[in-house]
Chain A
Amino acid sequence: MKTNTFNGIKARLGGISRRDFMKYCSIMASSMGLSTGVAPQIAEAIADPAKRPPVIWLHGQECTGCTETLLRPSHPTLDALILDIISLDYHETLNVGAGHQAEAALQQSMKENAGKYVLVIEGAIPVKDNGIYCMIGGKTFLSMVEEAAAGAAAIIAIGSCAAWGGIPSADPNPTGATSAPVVLKGKTVVTIPGCPPNPYNFLSTVVYFLTFGKLPEIDEQGRPKFAYGRLIHENCERRPHFDAGRFAEKFGDDGHRQGWCLYKLGCKGPVTHANCPEILFNDVGGGTWPVGTGHPCFGCTEKGVGFNIPMFTQAEIQNPTPSAFKAPITADHPSPLTIQGAGLAGAAVGAIVGASAIAMKNLGSSSSSSDQSSKED
């Protein structure tokens, strides 16, 4: 992005430097598993005011933890950036207005931006007794979600509650808490599970949508593959301890203090898909994720694991037997010795030896002449 173009939007981005902005775009690209070459394209998309999509953010049965996590990324002025790259028209936590004024803003935005806005659902949707267990402005949350989803360009369910039910849906589930994909059957819902989810997974999904005009590749549970494609167990920094059989047996025992594998304490890393060990939390460096701090993963991103399997129950290992086809430790290196190379090297050695031999032969005959010359001296 040219400096001139950037200067035009600098103020809108909260005075961030061009360098920091491009860095941010590169981080976005890499967290989506894209080449950093896409960064300029992302920068164009973010900087283009015409592309700013209106966002309607609905809260249901939740703790607002997902909204909180979104405020955490500490890259310079990210809050300004995210509030500026999207046009946040309705968000119950962040709304300036309140009451009927706020509801009117929601209705107006939905009407004006029909088919263009991004709907973000935070929290589970109670469906028991026609959804009367979550009412906002006299309406059930269920009807709000259905109404908003009808005109949305993309639907993102953020957090475990919206993605697969989360805590509200845990047994005995008195309110009939249901996830957004189930309520909105037939519509594509991108889910960003996690309790709370990593904000970068959400931001990356939004930026992907902005840049390419489509949603990223998702798995059968609606999770973007770039973030939820692999098991935590596969990329865990404590994996070598697992492979070597070094386990923490109790909280606070020697192994636990040494940072050994938490599998025996009930870590759900082996059955949970998420990128926590790779991108970590809160931008403060290594070890800042549950397992890194010494707590077993409880599987918040995995339907049927988090809040369902007891926290200290050992997870089923998916591949208990190691693969018979490990990548070899030693690679084959073909011999670089060629006939031409050997021939040339041999010829050179021969030439030197030959020249020396001839010189020596001549020395024999000239030694007498040297005696003569020394006599003359």
Chain B
Amino acid sequence: METKQPLGGRVLTGPFVFFLILVLIGAYFAAKRFTLGIGAVSNMNDGYPWGIWIALDVVIGTALACGGYTMALLTYAFNRGEYHPLVRPALLTSLFGYSLAGISVMIDIGRYWQAYNIILPWHSNLHSVMFEVALCIGAYCLVLWIEFAPALLEKMKADRLLKKLNRVLLIFIALGILLPTMHQSSLGTMMLMAGYKLSPLWRTAFLPLLFLLTALIIGFAVVIYESLFSSVTHRLPLETTILSKLATVTFWCVLLFMVIRIEDVNLRGYLPLAFDGSLVSNMFLLENTFLLCGLFLLMYPGNRNCPKLLFLSASCLLIGGSLYRFNTYITGFDPGNGWQYFPSVGELCITFGIVAVEILGYMWCVKRLPIISVPQTS
């Protein structure tokens, strides 16, 4: 029998201080952004109205935060109880990932003080993909906090409230599966609007499906990666048995994705474009190389039981999946008229700060809240 318990230990470790410094640097630039405006810290321009704050923090960030979604999907929708130990840590990263994606959007949008209008139905633009994404992500953040609440309530020993919450938790778990399915595909739909500004290597009617699949792939891979990583750093026993099962599911997802992805480009006749040696086509090759590496590593059942190869394949899938999303939003996007974009120092520092907040939060939570399942030693 396994129970979840705080890992304990000192919070203020070396890495913790390092990430704290990153957060402070990010906070400095965020303050600059809110006092002097976006132009003072960012290289975004009229050609590239979004930069890494959207591409990295939101589009990739929420995919990396899909661990909670994929685990809930497996455990509750497909009724695979054996994955239950992985749910709570995955939910924790999802919680931070999504909440901070929301904060990134607040930093990114020009008139953030108007943002509340999204939740006013009489101001809703029901024809906007952006609206769907905004509302969906906003709702999912809330759902994640409720899904995660039991961990906090256990810590606070609020048993009565916990009992009440457990009675209605099912609804929120269902919502927690529905909402990401909606908005993760919508993130792909959004780039359909870019039309011919998006390179034909990425521009396809399959964008919504491909984005949903990358959300699943990255969601599974991040659970594997994180579990192995925290086992090493916190010196916990490895959860290889569950992870190798998870890897099998991941394998089929990646296979489906790759078939659709490559066949789609091929059937539209744009595959030769991938070999013209430009930055865009090389990024396409790089992205797919990583995904194929991950796929081949997972193909052999033997590999799925080896923590080292499991970790390597998860890393490949994470990089490949993230690159797919990054390329769709930034590299493959050319607004024309000579516009260029590369993130500025301030922009990067804000993103680093946001990632650092996530890591700090995770570090603190696993030490102080009942998150990780530890086998009971007799």
Does A335 lie within 8 Å of B340, measured CB to CB?
yes
Residues in B295-344 with C-beta less than 8 Å from chain A: 306-308, 311-312, 315, 337-344
Pair A363/B340 contact, Cβ less than 8 Å: no
Residues from chain A with a CB closer than 8 A to the CB of B349 are 344
List residues of B (228-259) whose CB comes within 8 Å of A's CBs. Answer: 228-229, 231-233, 237-238, 240-241
Q: Is the CB of B348 within 8 A of A348?
A: yes
Report B236 CB to chain A, min CB distance, Å. Answer: 9
Check: A345 CB closer than 8 A to any chain B CB. Answer: yes
Interface presence of A367 (CB below 8 A): yes
- The answer to the question of B47 belonging to the interface, with a C-beta cut-off of 8 Å to chain A, is yes
Shortest C-beta distance, B290 to chain A (Å), equals 12
Tell me whether A108 is interfacial, beta carbon within 8 Å. no
Are B308 and A360 neighbours in the complex by a CB distance under 8 Å? yes
Within 8 A of B (CB), among A331-374: 331-338, 340-342, 344-345, 348, 356, 359-360, 362-364, 366-367, 369-370, 373-374
What are the residues of chain B within 8 A of A335 when measuring CB–CB?
340, 342
Q: Does A171 contact B (CB under 8 A)?
A: no
Q: How far is the CA of A334 from the CA of B340 in the complex (A)?
A: 8
Contacts of B104 in A (CB 8 A): none
Evaluate whether A330 and B232 lie within 8 angstroms (CB atoms) in the complex, with A338-B345, A344-B348, A345-B348 already known: no
B343 touching A345, Cβ below 8 Å: yes
CB nearest to A348 among chain B residues: B352
B94 at the interface (CB under 8 A from A): no
Could you tell me the distance between the alpha carbons of A111 and B349 in the complex, rounded to whole angstroms? 76
For B241, list chain A residues within 8 Å (CB).
Answer: 374
Q: Are A369 and B308 in contact (CB under 8 A)?
A: no
| Measured CA separation A360–B345 after assembly (Å) | 30
The verdict on A377 contacting chain B, using a C-beta distance below 8 Å, is yes
Measured between beta carbons, the chain A residues less than 8 angstroms from B228 are 359, 363
Q: Is the CB of B315 within 8 A of A356?
A: yes
Q: How far is the CA of A363 from the CA of B233 in the complex (A)?
A: 10
CB-defined contacts of A366 to chain B, threshold 8 Å:
231-232, 238, 307
- Given A363-B232, A366-B231 in contact, is the A336-B306 Cβ separation under 8 Å? no
- CB closest chain-A residue, reference B45: A333
Q: Mark B22-55, 1 if CB is under 8 A from A, else 0.
A: 0000000000000000000001010100000000
Q: How many residues of A contact B (CB 8 A)?
A: 29
Contacts of A373 in B (CB 8 A): 237-238, 375
| A331 adjacent to B338 (CB under 8 Å) | yes
B258 to chain A, nearest CB (A): 22
**What is the interface residue range for chain B against chain A?**
20 to 34
Chain A nearest CB from B203 CB (Å) reads 22
CB distance from B280 to the nearest CB of A (A): 16
How many Å lie between the Cα of A367 and that of B228 in the bound state?
10
Cα(A356)–Cα(B233), bound, Å: 11
Whether A332 touches B345, Cβ cut-off 8 Å, given contacts A359-B229, A362-B232, A367-B308, is: no
Chain B residues positioned under 8 Å from A342 (CB to CB):
342
Q: Which one of B232, B342, B352, B375 contacts A337 once the chains associate, using CB atoms below 8 Å?
A: B342
- The smallest beta-carbon distance between A328 and chain B, in angstroms, is 10
Contact A341 B342, beta carbon cutoff 8 Å: yes
Contact A330 B342 (CB under 8 A): no
Q: What residues of chain B lie closer than 8 Å to A363, measured between beta carbons?
A: 228, 231-232, 238, 307-308, 311
1/0 contact string of A141-167 vs chain B (CB within 8 Å):
000000000000000000000000000
Pick the residue among A336, A362, A367 that contacts B344 (CB under 8 A). Answer: A336
Which residues of the other chain, B, contact A334 by a CB distance below 8 angstroms? 340
For B341, the closest partner residue in chain A by CB is A336
Complex interface bits, B190-212 against A, C-beta within 8 A gives 1, otherwise 0 = 00000000000000000000000
A337: which B residues are within 8 A, CB to CB?
A: 340, 342
Collect the chain B residues with CB atoms within 8 Å of residue A338's CB: 342, 344-345
Do A377 and B337 contact each other (CB < 8 Å), given the known contacts A341-B348, A360-B311, A369-B237? no
In the bound complex, residues from chain A placing their C-beta under 8 Å from that of B344 are: 336, 338, 341
- Chain A residues closer than 8 Å to B306, beta-carbon distance: 367
Given A336-B340, A363-B311, answer yes or no on A377-B345 (Cβ-Cβ < 8 Å): no
Does the CB pair A370–B337 fall under 8 Å?
no
Instruction: Name the distance in Å between B315's Cβ and chain A's nearest Cβ.
Output: 5
A329 to B308, CA, bound (A): 55
Inside 8 A of B312's CB, which chain A residues have their CB?
A: 360
Please, how many angstroms separate the alpha-carbon atoms of A366 and B337 in the complex?
54
Asked if B343 contacts A367 (CB within 8 A), the reply is no
* Distance of A203 Cα from B340 Cα, bound (Å): 48
Check if B43 sits within 8 Å of A331, measured CB to CB: no
Residues from chain A with a CB closer than 8 A to the CB of B347 are 341
In the complex, which residue of chain A has the Cβ closest to the Cβ of B233? A359
Residue of A333, A348, A374 with most chain B CB atoms under a 10 A cut-off: A333
Query: Which residue of chain A has the shortest Cβ distance to B15 in the bound complex?
Result: A355
Are A332 and B311 in touch, CB under 8 angstroms?
Answer: no
> Across the interface, do A341 and B233 meet the contact criterion of CB distance under 8 Å?
no
Contact of B375 among A345, A360, A364, A377 (CB under 8 A): A377
Question: CA–CA, A363 to B240, complex, Å?
Answer: 11
Q: How distant is the Cα of A348 from the Cα of B240 in the complex, in angstroms?
A: 29
B311 touching A333 by the CB < 8 A rule? no
Give A334 to B135 CA distance when docked, in angstroms. 36
Tell me if B338 and A340 are in contact (CB < 8 A). no
B14 to chain A, nearest CB (A): 13
**Assembly CA distance A348 to B308 (angstroms):** 23
Give the Cβ gap from B340 to chain A, nearest Cβ, in Å. 5
- Which residues from 116 to 175 on chain B have a C-beta closer than 8 Å to any C-beta of chain A? none
Residues of B within 8 A of A377 (CB): 375
Residues in chain B near residue A345, CB distance under 8 A: 343, 348
Q: Are A330 and B338 within 8 A (Cβ)?
A: yes
Contacts of A341 in B (CB 8 A): 43, 342-345, 347-348
Shortest distance from the beta carbon of A263 to any chain B beta carbon, whole Å: 32
The digit string for A305-344, where 1 denotes a CB below 8 A from any CB of B, is: 0000000000000000000000001111111111011101
- Among B241, B348, B349, the one with the most A-chain Cβ atoms within 10 Å of its Cβ is B348
Contact partner of B238 (CB less than 8 A), chosen from A330, A340, A348, A370, is A370
Q: How far is the CA of A356 from the CA of B341 in the complex (A)?
A: 28
Question: Could you list 11 A-B pairs, sorted by A, with CB under 8 Å?
Answer: A333-B339, A336-B341, A336-B342, A345-B343, A348-B348, A348-B352, A360-B312, A363-B238, A366-B232, A367-B240, A377-B375
Q: Which 3 A-B pairs have the closest CB atoms?
A: A370-B238, A373-B237, A336-B43
Residues of B within 8 A of A (CB): 43, 45, 47, 225, 228-229, 231-233, 237-238, 240-241, 306-308, 311-312, 315, 337-345, 347-349, 352, 375
Q: Identify the A interface with B (CB < 8 A).
A: 329-338, 340-342, 344-345, 348, 356, 359-360, 362-364, 366-367, 369-370, 373-374, 377
Given contacts A333-B338, A338-B345, A341-B348, list 13 more A-B pairs with CB under 8 A: A333-B340, A336-B341, A341-B347, A342-B342, A360-B311, A364-B307, A366-B307, A367-B306, A367-B307, A369-B238, A370-B238, A370-B307, A374-B237
